[in-house]
């Protein structure tokens, strides 16, 4: 499930690519989805600033990553899939929810909430990375997730504050929540080399596929 195209206003592209590579390596058949809604705003990534008087659609932007093979999130059903994975990027906190603005009091997009609850109820695994675990923390009571460390540690964990917000939502930090079948990895929440992020996402994907029992 994608949230746009670009780390500051959509899906983090490296994370989405890593998820797709590891799913391909694991022999999975992949379908991509995104909500058909306007983005919260558009960021000029060369400046890191909002682009004034510009609007974009989350589904249309996500299609860039999906190479056009994407459908509205409203069409995603548990009956047709064994698992669901949400890459990170600020789109998860801006377009899939209002976490970027409202923190622990955020609202989650109704289709995102439906998907998370449906997969959880069906006992099918849910993978999330970077900031997207806030979605599960908000929607799935008692879910165990990780977004990294609670302390900034001299710049290594620049988004450490997110961990505190997740704790306030009642979620715990872990990597594989076997009870709820929720698998998470910090990805770019940590300032580390790209290959470490790629490997962490690989571990998440591997555990998601393992939990499908196929």
Number of domains in the chain: 1
**Residue 5 resides in a domain:** no
52-71 confidence digits (pLDDT tens)? 889 999 999 999 999 999 99
Which H, E and C letters describe 103-172, residue by residue?
HHHCCECHHHHHHHHHHHHCCCCEEEECCCHHHHHHHCCCCECCCCCCCCCCCCCCCCHHHHHHHHCCCE
Catalytic option among 5, 106, 129, 130: 130
Range of the domain at 148: 13-212
**Residue 196 resides in a domain:** yes
Residue 77 belongs to domain with CATH number: 3.40.50.880
Decide: pTM greater than 0.95: no
130 is catalytic: yes
**Residue 8 resides in a domain:** no
Pair of tokens at residue 202: 């690989």
Confidence of residue 106 (pLDDT cuts 50, 70, 90): very high
**Residue 4 resides in a domain:** no
**Residue 6 resides in a domain:** no
**Residue 180 resides in a domain:** yes
115-156 confidence digits (pLDDT tens)? 999 999 999 999 999 889 899 989 998 887 655 445 555 554
**Residue 40 resides in a domain:** yes
Beta-sheet strands, E only, within the chain: 32-34, 43-44, 49-50, 70-72, 84-86, 126-129, 176-177, 182-185
């Amino acid at each position: 499930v994608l949230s746009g195209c670009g780390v500051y206003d959509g899906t983090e592209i490296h994370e989405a690519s890593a998820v797709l590579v590891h799913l391909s390596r694991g022999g999975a058949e992949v379908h991509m989805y995104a909500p058909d809604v306007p983005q919260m705003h558009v960021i000029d990534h060369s400046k890191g600033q909002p682009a004034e008087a510009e609007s974009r659609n989350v589904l249309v932007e996500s299609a860039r990553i999906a190479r056009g093979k994407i459908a509205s999130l409203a069409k995603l059903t548990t009956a047709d899939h064994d698992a669901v994975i949400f890459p990170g990027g600020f789109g998860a906190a801006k377009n899939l929810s209002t976490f970027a603005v409202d923190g622990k009091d955020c609202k989650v997009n109704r289709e995102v909430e439906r998907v998370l609850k449906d997969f959880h109820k069906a006992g099918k695994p849910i993978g999330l990375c970077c900031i997207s675990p806030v979605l599960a923390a908000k929607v799935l009571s008692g879910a165990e997730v990780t977004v990294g460390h609670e302390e900034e540690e001299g710049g290594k964990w620049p988004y450490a504050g997110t961990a505190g917000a997740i704790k306030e939502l009642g979620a715990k930090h872990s990597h594989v929540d076997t009870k709820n079948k929720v698998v998470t990895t910090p990805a770019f929440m940590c300032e580390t080399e790209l290959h470490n992020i790629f490997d962490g996402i690989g571990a998440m994907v591997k555990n998601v596929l393992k939990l499908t029992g196929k």
